[in-house]
Structure 1
Amino acid sequence: MALEQNLILNLPFDEADGSNVAYDFAANRYDAEVTGCPFVVGRQGNCIRFPGEGYAEIPANVIPLSGNFTILAWVKANKYADGVTGKRIGLFCNTAQLEGSREIWIDVTPDSWGFLTIKKTGNTVTLYLDTQRVSSVTLPATLTGIALLQDVYGTEYGYADVDEVKVYNVALSDDDIAGSLNNVSQLEYYLSGVNFRDMGIRVESSTGVLDQPKLKTPSSIDWPDYHGKVVDLTNKRYEEREITLNCWLKASGKIDFVERVNRLYDLLRADGTARLMISIHPTKPLLYEVYASDGIAPSKRWHDDKMIGTFSLKLREPDPVKRVVRHQRINETSRELSIALKTEKVVSVYWGDGTVTEDVYGDYTGAKALKHTYAENGVYYVVVAGVIEEITDFSTNGIIVWNRL
């Protein structure tokens, strides 16, 4: 990671709501003066929210525009009232030369966090999203100004949450950028893409998440004139994974409690498996394709105002051994993920957008490789489940985040 003396601005935005200052934790203390912006729950701790009319101002000339630098930030574009605009972010670079400005636009998903990196090396400015390069521009003259803007035209200010802003006076390496991304993580539980917190559910504890599943009974021979047994311990196979999440649910009253419980039930009643995702790391979550075989019996006392119930959510993962691939769709050119493999055992591919390809068996290399097109921009985690240890010739244009989970 870059040396601490290269860090010239560090704004975690962890202040309590109502603060009129955002403290800079870098050595030079360029604290930001905050006007009209609340502090809300962010990607890590709190973050600052720009509601279309506020700003956070730091002293001028902090960023060395004429030299090399790197800007890192978590950004979540918030939904705009018209439901149409506010879905793009633009990087604008200005120079003193006539018609010398340059810009890069990216599509974003409102209400989803993205890790943005702006890196300037010489006269080249490069924009990254979640450590993946989006595009670069070459400046015709010295940089005089830089800005991140949205496609919202009713105000000069933005509609976004911003967290963990850092500026370095050097061009960071790709490893440094990835290291910064990995430093920010927050434990969250999701079921079929819905955050447990959005249903008012908190997970108090869990079992089975990282347990090795029970071994299936291996073939054996019990010779009467020998001690013990001869047990075949090659090619081990495992039972379903059993996961238990011990939860509590908070609601504002009886009706709210019933609605929140039913929302959870609806996710589990849908056809096929539900995806349990435990976000322990920004790019390497734990993933399980599960179903609920047992009932759910919340323990509660009825109240007209605040209600709290507790329950254990027992889940089973029928395919407990898997490989996980990460794919990010940034634009039309990155919409397709391909996976090539050979397998003599049937495997299933869960593409992360609610679709699944079952009964994958045989040679899927070369022109026969599995291909999947994503309709919406975003990050997708693909699960290849089955006897993955016997898969050969595996390749993908995605990123393998768990070779075996």
Structure 2
Amino acid sequence: MKPAAAFFTLAAFLEARRRQMLYQDREGLLRAQERRLYSFLRRKAGRVPAFEDLRGRFLQDWPIMDKAALMADFASYNRLGLTAAEGWAHLEAGTSPEGYAIGASTGTSGNRGLYIVSERERYRWLGTILSRALPDFLSCRHRVAIVLPANSRLYDAANESGRLQLRFFDLGLGIEAQFSPLTEFQPTVIVGPPKFLRALAESDTQIAPQRIFSGAEVLDEEDRRVVETRFDLIVREIYMATEGLFAIACPHGTLHLLEDQVAFEFLPLEGSANLVTPLITDFSRETQVMIRYRMNDVLEFAPIPCPCGLPHRAIQQVHGRCDDIFTLPSFGSPVRVTPDVIRNAVLKADKRISDFRVIQTGQNTVRLELKTEEADCLQTAAASLRTLFTACGAAPEIKPVAAALPPPSDRKLRRVRVEFA
């Protein structure tokens, strides 16, 4: 155990717990957020070239940035002046500047993103997760299984802390290949994407985790039901991306935004009354500065407060990405249909449907895939989709197909997606 690692992890954990206990009502939380945010905008935010002329302005006066802007001039957004080419070279070689960690997104959208964080930021990230997900980590020695397609130095901080036994399981080697090593490890905590958690729940793997966390993909309600039924646990989500850590579910299973370290603005999604896409300003990070960064995610606010009492805004569900909204021709303007209503249309068609894919393959063509053993549900599901699209003013050609539908081990599972330029 590294003494410095243990110290920084403990300090970050205690600070995150202090903030969580300090903010008992939403008004107090937002006041504290505003103080920290504007201190950050006045001081640290202007230390990168992209923002040096904007120091001290109100948040709404800063420009909106996105992944394209960040990757086009990566050096301007980080304090090291590290270029994207240098970042990719470090990643390829498995190296990083001393005192920093470099990572990248999986590239499921076809456009990979880089991130760079300092050692202090790594431990702050770990302390925040522990404070929400494993508040008993000082008294219990958990065995944590991280099951993902790619490892990250962010997870190393957990093992370095000396309080957790963490093991990484590489999904790139296949989903079923992880079942035997997991049985040997006997984790008390599992963190993995829904496709893996469901496959694990449907297997005969003999493990009894105490907590299960879902991340990296959209958690569909059918996947949640299967996993929770098998393990008799509430599946809790972690909303995290290349751009940062944004929300962790409480023991009730409700996602709460980490508003004590990130300021969120919300842009309404065209054609929807209850869905938004967020702009994030992370005032806990200073190596790579992210201000008014436009995320590509579709969020739905929770309609009622969570019984846990946390004042942090509750999210009903992360529905997917803006890229996966179907845009279909209509008699007037094109209509946009979001992934959540498409998923619901398929699942409500027949209770026997356990998995599916709905893919927009052309401007006005949609492919519907169901598992081979559920092929007799194809026509009912296709009719349900036609009813949905007709109600929206569209009439795409729907092509029903029976297929094996194995979950991909090397990329994110997106049941509703757009696959044409």
Q: TM-score, normalised by structure 1?
A: 0.27
More helix by share: 2
More strand by share: 1
Rg: which structure is higher?
A: 1
